[in-house]
């Protein structure tokens, strides 16, 4: 088959000692920069892009690029797991269970399942990219505005598991997120909303700043407030001779890895998909399916394995519209597009014909960068968990410093740093009164998407609401959303219906 021979020649281009060295540098630098709160893969690549331009051959640049990407992504999960400070929206889901695992002394297992799961997901989805790029690209552009709206509704309804124990608190958190999502210039008309006349707020409150504020800053304040009542270090390390993952961990991880991949890859391929929604979906799904439901919220390994796999699989998915149509669907993809253009490569339908060898070299780089990450990072786990030995006051002071640097690096603006602190204070209050954090992030991500696509639909249809029901795809997605909403209550509903019938029957017998 020609795909394989193309891929093989791609490997031929990429596999040289020099290129492998680039991959190693990329992975290492990416991991270290990605560890900073707020600096996710997109910003890491943007910051390191000038380096790749100084290389003579695009091949060397791409392989370093793939390394940086996987490294940054893994670096991000490391801090969310160890310190509950995710740097970007797609590692929020892994922080929920990962951090609880770390607190119970299972940091190594959490990091290992994240690394191996990422490797498995990236490998499978890269194969998917190799084989199905073209047909999937055709399918992806079938999605109209009303379908995206329905998809956002479905995602919103199906991740209610994130809401936590109290529905009222969860919905309040979600509402806060929806509100934050409204701040800034309206996407359709360019009118300012909730900006209080300040141009600094025109772009809205960046999701990165919300995440850094709520998690890194909020967590630091929360810890500081209770410092005397907590043990001196964050978490026990676990026995030093302990394996990364026990047999039981493997058994509980492999299905979530595969399921996460199955969710992440197609979602990433949608123009307007991205990696955050599938990670939340994967988390919810694992929680519903798990035999260890009681462990969720206290450190269930499935809750790390699934989202991490979904996150990495989504990236290969994101490459599909990027390479075949030139449509960047995530921040990382947008930066990649810029770097392609820096090498005078224009992604689009003719990319494979025009720049075939380079694209196959890029795809081969993904395989290698991914493998390199695993090889380098599994041994590094030992080093990362040492972070947990740092006494709390120093550790959280460090987190605050890095969070500040991260936000300033992203925005170059003191005002944004102050906004992050403000959001952090809010995060502290929310933690103090037991409000869940994840729904806020969900609101910020899904709110604007729902609103914009809803209004775009109505604009295109000249205000006709029936388009939501007459198009089969939209109707099916909305139907699934309704189903997802009533699903948790279904057993109770059925029981009640049955109970009532039984009672009535009994009644009848009495007559």
Partner 1 sequence: MRSPALSRRALLTGAGAVLAVAVTGCAKKSGDAGSFPSKTLQLMAPAKPGGGWDQTARALQKALTEAKLAANGVEVYNVEGAAGTLGLAQLATKNKGDAHQLMVMGLVMVGGVVTNKSPVTLDQTTPIATLTAEQEVIVVPKDSPYQDLAALMNAAKTAPASVNWGGGSAGGTDQILIGLLAKAAGADPKAMKYVAYSGGGESKAALLAGDLTAAVSGVGEYADLVTAGEVRALAVSGAAAPAKLPSAPTIKAAGFDVELMNWRGLASPPGLKDDEKAAVVGLVDKLHASPQWQQTLTDQGWEDFYKSGEDAKAFFTAETQRIKAVLTEIGLA
**Which residues bind to partner 1, rule: CB under 8 A?**
17-18, 21-22, 25, 29, 33, 43, 46-51, 53-55, 64, 140-145, 185-190, 192, 199-200, 202-203, 271-272, 321, 325-329, 334-335, 337-339, 341-342, 344, 346-351, 405, 408-409, 411-413, 456, 459-460, 462
Distance CA 341, CA 317 (A): 20
Residue 427 near residue 224 (C-beta atoms within 8 A)? no
Residue closer to partner 1, measured from CB, 333 or 437: 333
Nearer residue to partner 1 within complex by CB, 86 or 347: 347
**Which of 64, 216 has the CB closer to partner 1?**
64
Residue placing its CB nearer to partner 1 in the complex, 45 or 395 = 45
Q: Is the CB of 372 or the CB of 430 nearer to partner 1?
A: 372
Residues 6+ away with beta carbon under 8 Å from 92: 80, 86, 211, 215, 276, 279, 280, 438, 441
Please identify, using beta-carbon distances, which residue of 120 and 272 lies nearer to partner 1.
272
Report d(CA 70, CA 44) in Å as an integer.
11
| Cβ neighbour number for residue 286 with a 10 Å cutoff | 28
Quote the least distance from Cβ 349 to partner 1, whole Å: 4
What is the 3-class SS of 434-484, one letter each residue? CCCCHHHHHHHHHHHHHHHHHHHHHHHCCCCCCHHHHCHHHHHHHHHHHHH
3-state secondary structure of 406: helix
User: Closer CB to partner 1, residue 121 or residue 417?
Assistant: 417
Pick from 196, 154, 172: nearest CA to 280: 154
Smallest gap from Cβ 474 to partner 1, in A, equals 12
Nearer to partner 1, 185 or 371 (CB): 185
435, two tokens: 């409000």
> Helices marked H in 296-386 — which ranges?
302-325, 331-342, 351-354, 356-385
d(CA 416, CA 404): 10
CB of 367 to partner 1, least distance (A): 21
Distance in Å, CB of 284 to partner 1, minimum: 27
Q: Which residues contact 391 (CB under 8 A, 6 or more apart)?
A: 232, 233
Contact between residue 60 and residue 26 where contact means Cβ atoms under 8 Å apart? no
Helix or strand run (H / E) with residue 243 = none
Report the 10 Å Cβ neighbour count for 461: 16
Residue 407 beta carbon to partner 1: minimum distance, rounded to whole angstroms: 10
Least distance (Å) from partner 1 to the CB of residue 489?
35
Closest approach of Cβ 148 to partner 1, in Å?
A: 9
Q: How far is the CB of 390 from partner 1 (least distance, A)?
A: 22
Of the pair 135, 393, the CB lying nearest partner 1 is at 135
Nearer to partner 1 by Cβ, of 245 and 444: the residue is 444
CB distance 445 to 89 below 8 Å:
yes
Least distance (Å) between residue 271 CB and partner 1: 4
Q: How far apart are CA 379 and CA 185, in angstroms?
A: 46
Bridge partners of 193?
Answer: 184
Rounded to whole angstroms, the Cα distance separating 186 from 307 reads 31
Least gap, CB of 135 to partner 1 (angstroms): 15
Q: How many whole angstroms separate alpha carbon 358 and alpha carbon 349?
A: 15
Q: Are 405 and 43 in contact (CB under 8 A)?
A: no
Comparison of 42 and 153: residue with beta carbon closer to partner 1: 42
The closest of 313, 256, 312 to 285, measured between CA atoms, is 256
CB of 506 to partner 1, least distance (A): 56
């Amino acid at each position: 088959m020609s795909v394989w021979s193309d891929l093989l020649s791609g490997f031929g281009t990429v596999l040289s000692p020099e290129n492998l060295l680039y991959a190693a540098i990329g992975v290492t630098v990416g991991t270290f920069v990605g560890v900073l709160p707020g600096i996710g893969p997109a910003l890491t690549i943007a910051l390191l892009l000038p380096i790749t331009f100084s290389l003579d051959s695009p091949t060397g640049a791409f392989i370093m690029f793939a390394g940086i990407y996987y490294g940054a992504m893994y670096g991000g999960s490391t801090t969310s797991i160890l310190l509950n400070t995710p740097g970007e929206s797609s590692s929020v889901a892994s922080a929920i269970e990962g951090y609880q695992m770390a607190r119970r002394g299972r940091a190594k297992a959490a990091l290992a399942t994240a690394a191996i799961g990422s490797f498995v997901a990236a490998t499978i989805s890269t194969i998917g990219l190799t084989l199905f790029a073209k047909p999937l690209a055709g399918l992806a552009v079938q999605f109209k505005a009303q379908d995206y709206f329905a998809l956002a509704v479905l995602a919103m309804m199906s991740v209610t598991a994130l809401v936590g124990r109290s529905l009222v608190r969860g919905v309040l958190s979600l509402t806060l997120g929806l509100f934050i999502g409204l701040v800034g210039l309206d996407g359709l008309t360019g009118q300012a909303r909730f900006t209080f006349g300040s141009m600094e707020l025109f772009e809205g409150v960046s999701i990165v700043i919300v995440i850094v504020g709520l998690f890194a800053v909020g967590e630091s304040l929360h810890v500081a407030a209770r410092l005397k009542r907590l043990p001196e270090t964050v978490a026990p390390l676990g026995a030093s001779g302990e394996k990364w993952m026990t047999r039981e961990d493997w058994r509980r991880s492999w299905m979530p890895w595969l399921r996460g991949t199955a969710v992440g890859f197609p979602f990433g391929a949608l123009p307007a998909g991205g990696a955050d929604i599938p990670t939340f979906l994967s988390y919810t799904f694992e929680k519903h399916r798990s035999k260890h439901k009681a462990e969720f919220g206290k450190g269930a390994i499935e809750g790390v394995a699934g989202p991490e796999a979904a996150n990495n699989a989504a990236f290969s998915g994101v490459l599909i519209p990027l390479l075949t149509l030139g449509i960047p669907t995530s921040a990382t993809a947008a930066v990649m597009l810029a770097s392609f253009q820096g090498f005078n490569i224009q992604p689009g339908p003719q990319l494979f014909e025009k720049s075939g060898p380079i694209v196959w070299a890029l795809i081969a780089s993904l395989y290698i960068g991914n493998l390199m990450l695993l090889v380098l990072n599994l041994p590094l786990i030992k080093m990362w968990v040492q972070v947990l030995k740092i006494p709390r006051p120093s550790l959280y002071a460090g987190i605050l410093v890095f969070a500040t640097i991260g936000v300033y690096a992203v925005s170059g603006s003191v005002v944004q740093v102050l906004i992050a602190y403000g959001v952090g204070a809010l995060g502290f209050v929310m933690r103090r009164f037991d409000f869940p954090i994840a729904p806020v992030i969900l609101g910020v991500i899904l709110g604007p998407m729902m609103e914009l696509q809803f209004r775009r639909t109505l604009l295109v249809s000249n205000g006709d609401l029936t388009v939501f029901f007459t198009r089969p795809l939209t109707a099916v997605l909305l139907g699934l959303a309704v189903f997802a909403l009533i699903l948790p209550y279904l057993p109770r509903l059925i029981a009640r219906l049955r109970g009532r019938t039984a009672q009535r029957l009994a009644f009848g017998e009495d007559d």
